[in-house]
Chains A and B, each alone.
Chain A
Amino acid sequence: MVKLEYLKKEYEKTRQMPGKWPLSSYRYKFNITHFQPFLKALKEKRLIGLKCRSCNTVSFPPKLVCGKCLVQPDQWVALRDTGMVATFTANYMKDETTGELQSFPVIAIQQDGADTTFLTQLNPAVKFEDVYVGMPVKVKWKNQPEGNLGDIEYYDVIDDATKKMKLQNE
């Protein structure tokens, strides 16, 4: 086992003062106008992205400003409800009742037809070990969408056609 003495060097203590940063008293503003069509589409179980007329980048979730061109994209395009895992990680959280450490896979997906990634949740039933980069996923909608971000319950795993092809080739 690693020895940890080097971490524990004791220094004399100087005077300590309490202090706090009242982050809860901030209110963050966000103009919902440019987001409205996206939320409306969610209610109809549709996904749309914003396309920049200048560089044709499709952002999903829609972005206010295209950083490449410094213009406001304003062209809405329809996207399919499938996507691909661009990268992933796990978040470890303690179960409040049992105190057990649980791992939740968190994925960044690239929606088919979009050029940016979207940070979201995976089906909780999927084991973290089974997730890989390039894994195809599909939106699992909430039963009664309300037109907000909660409408995408999570992303579900779908059959990986490339894997089948590889197997056939072998």
Chain B
Amino acid sequence: MSKQQAAIVSAGFCEHASKRSDVNMAEMANEAIQDCLNNANIEMDAVDAIVMGNMPAFEGANLPELWMTDWVGARDKPLIRVTTGGTTGGSVAIAGYYHVAAGLPGIETVLAVAFEQQSCGNTSVGLSSVALGEISIVNALGLPAESAMRIFGAGAAIGIASYQAINYMKRSGCTEEDLARVVVQNRRNAAKNWWTHLKMPDYTIEQVMATPYVSYPLRFGMVTPASDGACAVLFTREEIAKDTVDIPAYVNGVSSVANETGIVGYAAAGAGQLDPCEQLGAVESAKLAYSQAGISFPEKEIDYAEVYSPFPNQELMWLERLGLFKENTAHLRYRDGTTAPNGELPVNCSGGVNSTNAIGASGLERVAEAALQIMGKAENQVPKTVHTSIGHGWGGCINFVTLTVLSDQPRRK
């Protein structure tokens, strides 16, 4: 048991769509795994352990890793499943890293798999059940069920995003057009990747602004889709990685700092964050992961970012909290094209979560794309050389954040 440098050598996806009715979740996860193994020319036999993750409530299947054994190649192999809501994918990537980095004898190559088949279940039921326990308690304490549902219903993902959007717009002076601009960039990027869901090469700001509000200030045209999809990433030790690919993406920093449960929540937990834009967890995560990776000036040292932003305002917010742009200036960087694929700091060239959102898989897809950009194998490869990139995840009740820092050089000892 001695510490190892972990690296990503391959990533695979399955085709994402709103209803992958042609496959079940096991077959869907298998597609991504096949793609991942093929890309690195590796057989399943070479995989020593598996880390899996999804949000089980969306598919209505408890402990899916058990019956999916043969589809993910886990027979007679070590497997654990981590799940943390929206950050599941990010947590799977981090678990994959720890499995390799801990250096247990016999565990050298680890397959990380995350998937979500949202069409199997009812996503809004899945989401509202986050607070179901709280709602039932509040109801028992005398708040009428109707009011409780109304108050906490607005706390579901989109509601929280609009809380954030309102506060962010007030802070930074960013306009609705700025939000639309983020969406347009994402959807156009998505059109350049084969596996993404909402491919819209000709999307314009005017088209976004012509759609009705879903929850002020977020419009229908800005909202993330609900997708079916899966992603697989292969983690291995430094020496194996060097033999497998030309440029491995070394994992140099990981963190997943939890904040207090925000906004939603009542008696025993929650209601801790005054400003949903503050995101102390993200700030702390960034500090931790950057220090592990030896990054002192993130705005200068990071060349590429994949951030988890189902809604456009979050993309702006995260880029600031993760230290890539100065406070309240992210929307200006979208105006001047800094974040475009050919810009100074390209962001979400995969199209991001705004274009494709298979919730459990989204966090891992961010890490996968950030790695592919370093390896030079991304579909929508940026023209500049990427030395350091980050993959970020967000979830829970706006309180979970995962961050993975990748580089083309191993960590400085």
**A28 near B136 (CB under 8 angstroms)?**
yes
**B260 near A12 (CB under 8 angstroms)?**
no
Q: From residue B64, how far is it (CB to closest CB) to chain A in Å?
A: 12
**A150 near B142 (CB under 8 angstroms)?**
yes
**B151 near A119 (CB under 8 angstroms)?**
yes
B129 sits at the interface (CB 8 A): yes
Interface residues of B in 188-202 (CB under 8 A from A): 198-200
**B22 near A93 (CB under 8 angstroms)?**
no
Q: From residue A109, how far is it (CB to closest CB) to chain B in Å?
A: 10
Interface residues of A in 128-167 (CB under 8 A from B): 128, 132-133, 146-151
Residue of A nearest to B156 (CB): A91
Which residues in B have their C-beta under 8 angstroms from that of A77? none
1/0 contact string of B166-189 vs chain A (CB within 8 Å): 110010000000000000000000
Q: From residue A77, how far is it (CB to closest CB) to chain B in Å?
A: 16
Contacts A115-B274, A148-B143; A120 near B151 (Cβ below 8 A): yes
**B150 near A149 (CB under 8 angstroms)?**
no
**A20 near B132 (CB under 8 angstroms)?**
no
**How many residues does chain B have at the interface if contact means C-beta atoms less than 8 Å apart?**
65
A90 contacts which of B17, B21, B215 (Cβ < 8 Å)? Answer: B215
Contacts A89-B216, A117-B274; A108 near B263 (Cβ below 8 A): yes
B60 sits at the interface (CB 8 A): yes
B283 sits at the interface (CB 8 A): no
CA distance A23 to B57 in the complex (A): 11
| Size bin of chain A's contact surface | 35 or more
Which residues in B have their C-beta under 8 angstroms from that of A115? 274
B155 sits at the interface (CB 8 A): yes
**B60 near A20 (CB under 8 angstroms)?**
yes
A146 contacts which of B142, B260, B270 (Cβ < 8 Å)? Answer: B142
Q: From residue B372, how far is it (CB to closest CB) to chain A in Å?
A: 23
CA distance A74 to B152 in the complex (A): 27
Contacts A9-B17, A148-B143; A21 near B274 (Cβ below 8 A): no
Residue of A nearest to B210 (CB): A1
**A106 near B159 (CB under 8 angstroms)?**
yes
B141 contacts which of A39, A88, A119, A132 (Cβ < 8 Å)? Answer: A39
CA distance A88 to B211 in the complex (A): 22
Which residues in A have their C-beta under 8 angstroms from that of B21? 11-14, 16
CA distance A93 to B260 in the complex (A): 29
**B162 near A89 (CB under 8 angstroms)?**
yes
B167 contacts which of A28, A65, A133 (Cβ < 8 Å)? Answer: A133
Q: From residue A90, how far is it (CB to closest CB) to chain B in Å?
A: 6
Which residues in B have their C-beta under 8 angstroms from that of A103? 216
**B151 near A106 (CB under 8 angstroms)?**
yes
**A121 near B267 (CB under 8 angstroms)?**
no
**A23 near B271 (CB under 8 angstroms)?**
no
Q: From residue A108, how far is it (CB to closest CB) to chain B in Å?
A: 6
**B271 near A21 (CB under 8 angstroms)?**
no
B23 sits at the interface (CB 8 A): yes
Which residues in B have their C-beta under 8 angstroms from that of A30? 137, 140-141, 267-268
B150 contacts which of A14, A16, A91, A133 (Cβ < 8 Å)? Answer: A91
Residue of B nearest to A16 (CB): B21
**B215 near A89 (CB under 8 angstroms)?**
yes
Contacts A12-B21, A133-B166; A149 near B141 (Cβ below 8 A): yes
Interface residues of B in 18-74 (CB under 8 A from A): 18-24, 27, 57, 60-61
Given A35-B141, A147-B142, 18 additional A-B pairs, CB 8 A = A2-B207, A2-B221, A11-B19, A20-B60, A61-B271, A62-B267, A87-B166, A87-B276, A89-B159, A91-B159, A108-B263, A117-B263, A117-B271, A117-B274, A119-B155, A120-B151, A149-B143, A150-B142
On B, residues with C-beta under 8 Å from A are 17-24, 27, 57, 60-61, 121, 125, 129, 132-133, 136-138, 140-144, 147, 150-155, 159, 162-164, 166-167, 170, 198-200, 203, 207, 210-211, 214-216, 221, 225, 260, 263-264, 266-276
